[in-house]
A and B are shown apart, each in its own frame.
Chain A
Amino acid sequence: MSEFKHIQTAHCENGVTVNLLKQQGLDFMTEPLAFGIGSGLFYIHIPFLKVNGGPAISFRSMPGAIFSRTCKSLDVKVERKKFRSHEAAQLYLDQKVDDGIAVGCPVGVYNLLYFPKEYRFHFNAYNLIVYGRDGNDYLVSDPVMETTTRLSKEALEKVRFAKGALAPKGHLYYPVQARPITEEVLRKGIVRGINRNVRDMLRIPTKIVGVRGINHTASKVRKWREQHGERTAGLFLGQIVRMQEEIGTGGGGFRFIYAAFLEQASEILGDDRLLGISEQFTKAGDLWRDSALQMAGIYKGRITAQKDFDDCADIMNAISAAEKQAFQDLGKLNLR
């Protein structure tokens, strides 16, 4: 294996995908490509699940989906292991890194010691790469960090066996020797990623998912002030903004990554029509940021009337319409 080269990205799972695939010689891989081929753009207002009594929303596809879809589309084989025993999990990891294989690990954030305390919640769908060890320390490449970092044996064990929803259970994964990717395979992967994303955002028949999901949340936002009072409703809005923008989630940010993906895709596919649609996603991303600003006005206590909540919901309805249009246009291109 060549020397490990750390690449910082906006989102952890994109980053793990990019870093691990580059390691396998896929030099062309970028974060937007990984995100787009893996059909990462999504929206779901998760039903029955409450986080601190408030809404649980995800702006991206299921944890693990970006990595596995991207690898599958590019015909890269993936090796995965789950463990019950902490010892077995560590021994296997040691063996891999000693063989010079960098591996991806889902971990819990709560005990991730190099994170500032403010960011450490019980959130388990986080990913990092372990690429070596040195004495009692593991060498860690966390894609949202500017540089590589380290975790002690004990600290790593703790985060690999964090408990709660989506418990990682010592899971690890890595791509096995990839074949050289031809232009043809890459094009097919891009087209497939786009078409799957169109389906996921437009055609899943439930009101909580995709562009309809955004409207579903908007209709809830309209009712929160009455139902929960200004303070709690404000906290809920803050929660949306955190899920949307914070490290490891990045909703508004995802729209820009997707726009960047379409820009790169237009070059690779030689199709200028994608540039126009990229612009539509940039607008959607800008609208998400407008909505966050409006919500911040409320939870900063500056504006707290029902009209202000309605304004938030109106922006979300506009986002839903914008993304619906963009995905419909994408679908109409009939890429093959």
Chain B
Amino acid sequence: MKKNELPQDESPLKDFTREVCYVKNEDGKYETGLSEGWDVKSVALNNAWEEIERRTQDAKDKVLKGEASPVLYYLELHLMDLPVLAGYTGFRRWQIKRHMKPSVFKKLSDKKLKIYADIFEVSVENFKHFKI
């Protein structure tokens, strides 16, 4: 990439940083340049976020319809997957999967609910009754 081809598109990097890129200068030698962003990347990132929002909305609908427990919603909201949530809670993946069933969730002890609630940064009350 030549120095004058370095993209300078507005991106989520704005007010955060500019990226160092290795580019060729007029003499054909490498030097570093700073880029404000590249539209190709911003759109990919943007799409990824739209997908996250879609999944979170899906999870919310499922909880409201009684098809899943709030664990699923907060897992999506915090961009987690089972291994990550297992890491934070100390529960096994299969346990978390069970906790996602409303029937099992209803019977969870306050102690277990608190473990989840702390990680999801909500109160046990709101978590239990899905007040968001």
Is the pair B45, A122 in contact by a Cβ cutoff of 8 Å? no
B132: Cβ under 8 A from any A Cβ: no
Residue of B at shortest CB range from A285? B1
Instruction: Write the nearest CB–CB distance from A320 to chain B, whole angstroms.
Output: 20
Q: How far is the CA of A227 from the CA of B88 in the complex (A)?
A: 34
A238 and B44 contacting across the interface, CB-CB below 8 Å: yes
| Given the contacts A146-B17, A239-B48, A121 and B79 also touching, CB distance less than 8 Å | yes
Determine if A163 and B48 form an interchain contact, defined as CB atoms under 8 angstroms apart: no
Q: In the complex, which residue of chain B has the Cβ closest to the Cβ of A292?
A: B40
A202 within 8 A of B: no
Contact A118 B49, beta carbon cutoff 8 Å:
yes
A296 proximity list for chain B (CB < 8 A): 39-40, 43-44
- Chain A residues in 8 Å Cβ range of B66: none
A-contacting residues, B2-54, CB 8 Å: 12-13, 15-24, 29-30, 32, 34, 38-41, 43-45, 47-49, 51
Whether A223 sits at the interface, judged by CB under 8 Å, is: no
> Would you call A10 and B22 a contact (CB within 8 A)?
yes
Knowing A144-B20, A245-B38 are in contact, say whether A119-B12 is a contact too (CB < 8 A).
yes
Interface size of A as a range: 35 or more
Interface residue stretch chosen among A39-47, A130-138, A254-262: A254-262
B30 lies within 8 A of A263 (CB) = yes
Near B by CB (< 8 A), chain A positions 18-35 give: 31-32
Bound CA span A32–B87, Å: 35
- Is A196 positioned at the interface, with any CB of B under 8 Å from its CB? no
In the complex, chain A residues 288-306 whose Cβ is within 8 Å of any chain B Cβ: 289, 292-293, 295-296, 299-300
Interface residues of chain B, those whose CB is within 8 Å of chain A, are: 1, 12-13, 15-24, 29-30, 32, 34, 38-41, 43-45, 47-49, 51, 79-81, 83-84, 87-88
Q: Which 9 A-B pairs have the closest CB atoms?
A: A163-B87, A238-B44, A164-B84, A260-B30, A256-B22, A118-B12, A296-B40, A10-B20, A241-B44
22 interchain pairs (CB within 8 A)?
A: A10-B20, A31-B20, A32-B30, A52-B51, A114-B16, A118-B45, A122-B84, A144-B19, A146-B34, A163-B88, A238-B44, A245-B40, A246-B41, A247-B13, A253-B21, A256-B23, A259-B22, A259-B30, A292-B41, A296-B40, A299-B44, A299-B47
